[in-house]
Structure 1
Amino acid sequence: MKRYISIYSLLIVLMFGMVSCEDLFDQKPLDSTPAEDILTNEKDAEALLYGMYAYFGSEASYGRSLSTMLDIMTDASLASTGFSNQLGQMYAWKINPGTSEVGSLWGNHYGAIYNATFLINNLHTIEGDQDNLNRIKGEAYVGRALLHYNLVRLFAKAYDQATAATDLGIPYRLDYEDVTPSRSSVEEVYSNIVDDLEEALQLLPVNERYDEETFTLDFANGLMARVLLDMKDYDGVIDHTSRIINNPAFSLSSGQAFTDMWLKDSGLEIIWRVGYRITDANLVAPGYNFFNMNNVSSPLLPDYIPSDSWVNLFNSSDIRLSTYVATAATGYGWTSKLVIKYPTNPDFASQVLGMNMPKPMRLAEMYLMRAEAYAYTNNDEQAVADLDALLENRIENHQGVNISGDALKDLIADERKRELMFEGFYWFDLKRMGKGFTRVPQENTSTANDLSISADDYRWQWPIPTSEINGNTIIKQNDGY
């Protein structure tokens, strides 16, 4: 069953989710409208669910911030000499409680959490097809888990079993009785995420994929694996990734099919994508800042170009190199390598360059997570088998991996950089692995390109937005701000 979601038209219909940060915790959906008037039948439930999905397409979510912006903030890209200062504060790590990207993401996520939590807490009040209602509730549980997971990784310290019980997390919204919630601990947030995903795994239909644009049982398993990887529960990672890898509905792409996955936003490797439509074009474009032009006939004016250190990780027979990177003339009078991972879906080509559907979960990530889990449980043979399975689909005449121990773990980390860059993983990988980075200036680059961020820099924890601090007098700000 195909269920198309027009991202922005739904935001207009479901304005009750779009509350400002100032009073985000001081309202309930539709403010004073009784719950029984909001949710009366299955159609209302579907609308509420679609409203939750709508938030994920925003620039403040996977439309840019959680896909390209996070990795732009690292050493993977550099600001060009024609830099227009888009995302400039985030790129330069001049992050403060009033930074717009910080406040927008916070508000976006808690707005979506409203929809999810309202469904979870009130779906029992309506009648309908029980299987369908279970599916709706399961998707809402997954959405709530994902939204809180993104927030805790951005606004709190990385999960550390030794300190998680005392490290400040974020408010986990199981209801809205408390209008000035305090921050749960990181441990409590992760525990609630796992609980929500366990509920979803019981509710979502087995062996049924509606389409790639909704949360399925496979996505729930993949998200659970991510969470457990942070927690270093490697047996759990192996279990949940294996459920997806063993599903014949998915397969790794190679050759032209791999390139088409990025160009046309389709393929058997995609577990979940954000479902843009032509009506959404010109509103968001994840790859826009790698081109920085609206008219397809205009010269390319990239804000950011890929760092040599990332490009040099690939060998010439790797399909990812030609799919992710190209050399082109710019409107600045120089030729450079450019990031083309969002090359512009032909359906959107008349609108704006860089308009592709974000693909926040793919099968390749499952192989990489399982390989990491195997490597950290001293099962190098299985880790190598997973790496080989992936690389045989990426590198022509792949000869096989023949290393072990720490060298194997380093290779897995490098493969995550090669495979997943500009999908919003590398920034999080640096944080969870306790690593910093240093940018190395190169030709055709300018401001903030010699930045060095240590692993213990306080800015790995984003500040609670000013608007939230002003609206909730008991919420505690992160150190350093």
Structure 2
Amino acid sequence: MKKIFNYILAVSVIIAASGCEKFLDHAPDQRTELNSPQKVSELLVTAYSAGNYAQAAEAMSDNVSFVNATGNNIPANYDSYFWRDIRAINQDSPTYFWTNTYKAIAVANQALDAIAKANDPENYRAQKGEALLARAYAHFMLAVFFSKPYDQATADTDMGIPYVTEPENVVLKNYDRKTVAYTYAQIQKDIEAGIPLIKDNAYTVPAYHFTKKAAYAFAARFYMFKKDYDKVIECANLAFPANNFAENLKPWPSYASMPSSTEIGTAFTTASTPGNLLLIQTTSWLNRYYNRAVFAFSQNRLNSITAPMGINFSALRKFSFSSTYYFVPKYQEHFVRTSINANTGTGYVMHPSLTTEELLLNRAEAYIMKDQFANAIADINTLLSKRITGYTAASGVTDAKIKAYYSNITDVKQMYINAVLDFRRAEFVHEGLRWLDILRHKLTVTHIDEDGTSRELKPDDKRRQWQLPDEVILSGVQQNPR
């Protein structure tokens, strides 16, 4: 698998730190052993990025605020809050995400190469489908954070990210970022080629792989960024043709009897939990820091965010540390010691990367863009039925409630857009998806510093794109402007 980890643009930081020879000897070459569908499937387990974006993305958004200077001070939280380029290479940093996401791409390309060379490629259809979806998803998430969001008016000139489609065969290779339009075209090509090949019965634990539902959920997110709302609706309907979203949402009311945040966080991120369409194991300290960082959630702020339009997500369980840091338990760390008796080790967090909840709200937003407001209300209320304790029809959202709450807005469609964005914000608190909505809708973000100074990040601010790792300049990749 030596070549699997040999993308210089992804891992040049490791080469620089430990030496080229040591890096290239990371693992023996096992390509010749990829001679069966089962072995390719085993390889594809690592075609999902170990990098976690939630901590940095959440801190860049308008979700968090200054809570306490004695909180955990880590670059992914502190520097992100001030929209500074994070040069650290540790877990939860942009560099770590870049590096590990290109590693995942390398694995997908190695699998695709083995399939192309197999004597019986038809027997590898399921593996090819997973590899194509994994490659597309990895490139898409890189494009989200390191490139400008897709805009039809500028996509042909905005810089994309290198779209790598074949295994490395040289140590140093020049890569062209090309354009956002090109990057998105390649992603769409892989999505369209991969989905028909996916076979859910190929997996022992489907939630750790691209099933049909997960593939359609990813496609819907992709088409949301492209503003192709007909495709968003189509993907959601194909994922759940019986429209049985309600029974496939996370059952927050059932968490009411769980005594601790640890149990709830575990339940939230298990493969058997409804709603988790794709769980990815990430190397991350997220669980240690998201709930007690310098910039986090006070009680009032969390209560405000989780009550969109004044409709309280009362089924959500909220906890606090020292009555200072408030949070909704969504994660649980799996700590692996470096040795049996060691106190040091590595933290892992299962991240719900694609969910039924996001797919449902993507469809609701797409309905709004198509002026199908009644359908959007129905989807939002489907979510609320699992977020409000003792939910009844009177508890939900209505056209009248939306118009009354956003009465300062004259455009009805914008009222509905604001509503669905507020419901999305409440649903995905701590998960980093608020930042994706800020990018898609070009929202201005305001942060208040510790000393009370107010700062704004406007839609055209270059700091909205994460900076590429310094080391990728070795391969000639152009950095983002600053």
Give me the TM-score of the superposition, normalised by structure 1: 0.79
Q: What amino acid sits opposite 1:120 in the alignment? A: L
Greater mean deviation of Cα atoms: 337-346 or 101-110: 337-346
Q: Which residue of 2 aligns with 1:323?
A: 316
Contact 1:305 1:337 in 2 (8 A): yes
SS at match of 1:93: coil
Contact 1:262 1:356 in 2 (8 A): no
Q: Equivalent of 2:83, from 93, 105, 119? A: 93
SS at match of 2:397: coil
Q: Which residue of 2 aligns with 1:410?
A: 418
Q: How far has the Cα of 1:258 moved from its partner?
A: 5.7
Structure 2 distance, partners of 1:356, 1:98, is: 20
Q: Which residue of 2 aligns with 1:17?
A: 5
Structure 1 distance, partners of 2:96, 2:294, is: 21
Q: Which residue of 2 aligns with 1:124?
A: 116
Q: Which residue of 1 aligns with 2:260?
A: none
Q: Equivalent of 1:464, from 437, 459, 468? A: 468
Q: Which residue of 2 aligns with 1:140?
A: 131
Q: Equivalent of 1:359, from 339, 352, 366? A: 352
Q: How far has the Cα of 1:338 moved from its partner?
A: 1.5
CA change 1:49–1:14 in 2 (3 A) is farther
Q: How far has the Cα of 1:345 moved from its partner?
A: 7.2
Q: Equivalent of 1:69, from 56, 68, 82? A: 56
Q: Equivalent of 2:279, from 273, 277, 284? A: 273
Structure 1 distance, partners of 2:31, 2:348, is: 39
Q: How far has the Cα of 1:413 moved from its partner?
A: 0.5
Greater mean deviation of Cα atoms: 86-95 or 244-253: 244-253
Q: Equivalent of 1:235, from 210, 213, 230? A: 230
Q: Equivalent of 2:433, from 413, 425, 433? A: 425
SS at match of 2:187: helix
Q: Which residue of 1 aligns with 2:46?
A: 51
Which deviations, in whole Å up to 9, do the C-alpha atoms of 1:159-200 show, x marking residues without a partner? 000110111101100124782011121001001101111111
Q: What amino acid sits opposite 2:155 in the alignment? A: A
CA change 1:227–1:448 in 2 (3 A) is farther
SS at match of 2:387: coil
CA change 1:33–1:14 in 2 (3 A) is closer
Contact 1:417 1:426 in 2 (8 A): yes
Q: What amino acid sits opposite 1:412 in the alignment? A: V
Q: How far has the Cα of 1:263 moved from its partner?
A: 3.6
Contact 1:342 1:356 in 2 (8 A): no
Q: How far has the Cα of 1:152 moved from its partner?
A: 0.9
Structure 2 distance, partners of 1:227, 1:163, is: 17
Q: How far has the Cα of 1:254 moved from its partner?
A: 3.6
Q: How far has the Cα of 1:415 moved from its partner?
A: 0.6
State yes or no: 1:169 paired with 2:136. no
Unaligned runs of 5+ in 1: 1-12, 277-282, 293-301, 330-334
Structure 2 distance, partners of 1:15, 1:108, is: 14
CA change 1:96–1:30 in 2 (3 A) is same
State yes or no: 1:314 paired with 2:306. yes
CA change 1:202–1:343 in 2 (3 A) is closer
Unaligned runs of 5+ in 2: 257-262, 337-342, 403-411
Greater mean deviation of Cα atoms: 190-199 or 94-103: 94-103
Contact 1:287 1:341 in 2 (8 A): no
CA change 1:98–1:303 in 2 (3 A) is closer
CA change 1:261–1:232 in 2 (3 A) is farther
CA change 1:287–1:322 in 2 (3 A) is farther
What is the percent sequence identity of the aligned residues?
22
CA change 1:289–1:43 in 2 (3 A) is same
CA change 1:91–1:126 in 2 (3 A) is same
Q: Equivalent of 2:107, from 104, 111, 115? A: 115
Q: Equivalent of 2:34, from 34, 39, 45? A: 39
Greater mean deviation of Cα atoms: 170-179 or 33-42: 33-42
Q: How far has the Cα of 1:21 moved from its partner?
A: 2.0
Contact 1:41 1:127 in 2 (8 A): no
Contact 1:29 1:114 in 2 (8 A): no
Q: How far has the Cα of 1:224 moved from its partner?
A: 0.8
Contact 2:149 2:439 in 1 (8 A): yes
CA change 1:340–1:355 in 2 (3 A) is farther
Contact 2:2 2:29 in 1 (8 A): no
Q: Which residue of 2 aligns with 1:332?
A: none
Q: Equivalent of 1:205, from 199, 202, 226? A: 199
Q: How far has the Cα of 1:236 moved from its partner?
A: 0.3
Structure 1 distance, partners of 2:69, 2:87, is: 28
State yes or no: 1:194 paired with 2:184. no
Residue correspondences, number? 431
Structure 2 distance, partners of 1:91, 1:268, is: 32
Structure 2 distance, partners of 1:262, 1:98, is: 28
Structure 2 distance, partners of 1:198, 1:392, is: 33
State yes or no: 1:257 paired with 2:263. no
Q: What amino acid sits opposite 2:475 in the alignment? A: N
Contact 1:290 1:303 in 2 (8 A): no
RMSD: 3.7
Contact 1:289 1:303 in 2 (8 A): no
Q: Which residue of 2 aligns with 1:280?
A: none
Q: Which residue of 2 aligns with 1:377?
A: 370
Give me the TM-score of the superposition, normalised by structure 2: 0.78
Which deviations, in whole Å up to 9, do the C-alpha atoms of 1:194-222 show, x marking residues without a partner? 11111111211268775211111111111
Contact 2:6 2:24 in 1 (8 A): no
Q: What amino acid sits opposite 1:228 in the alignment? A: Y
Structure 1 distance, partners of 2:27, 2:375, is: 56
Q: Equivalent of 1:340, from 317, 323, 328? A: 328
Structure 2 distance, partners of 1:18, 1:217, is: 30
